[in-house]
Structure 1
Amino acid sequence: IKEMQSAMALAEDIAIKTLASGMMKGKSEKRIKKDIKIFLTPEKTKTHSRPISPKEAEGSGLNIKHEELKSDIWKLVYELYVRTNNFVSTHVLKCVENKDNSFVIGGEVPKLKK
């Protein structure tokens, strides 16, 4: 549980610092954290994989652009989703990809000792 909490805290820190240096430049880290709360806490979304609607995302203060499901960018986003989902759903230890090739090393995930 501690490891998971640490990973969540790291992801939050990275998100806030990245937004503070870009799209939300000029806002305090406290304000950014408040604005993106929907992405950081399970109270609204209940689970990590649950979609967040454009309307909900717009409420975060982020610059949201709607894309049609048949657009080229949406096809690329979906391909990235499928690849990422496949990657995290398998016992992949290392993956190296470029636009033409993919190299994967698989293995068993070590079990924690009790």
Structure 2
Amino acid sequence: MKVMILHSQRTIVSTLNVADGYFSRLRGLMFRKALNSGEGLLIKPCKQIHTHFMRFPIDAIFMDHKNVVIHIEHGLRPWKITAFYKQALSVLEVNQGCAVDINLGDALEIVK
């Protein structure tokens, strides 16, 4: 699966992993050394994340039920906790800097 910005059809994630079970969401990216280039993790359902036990900073893209971006955390370092976003349904975690061209209100498309 991959993730694209709907209006520009630009691919932001070429290899998407999904964490949609209790343990996979709990683990997230903990203990990984890095994300490969073009790789991302979609956590759903999810309204808040932490970066405990992570070894690298990430960009976290919070989306609503229509995959519209409602908040972006740029350069979220290890051992941090985000705010709770009531409208969020999912969070896309990508390498730091990958969300630089994404704006609030952008619709993202998950392509299988």
TM-score, normalization by structure 1: 0.25
Relative to total residues, which structure has the larger strand share, 1 or 2?
2
Asked which structure has the greater CA Rg, the reply is 1
More helix, by proportion: 1
Normalised by the size of structure 2, how large is the TM-score?
A: 0.25
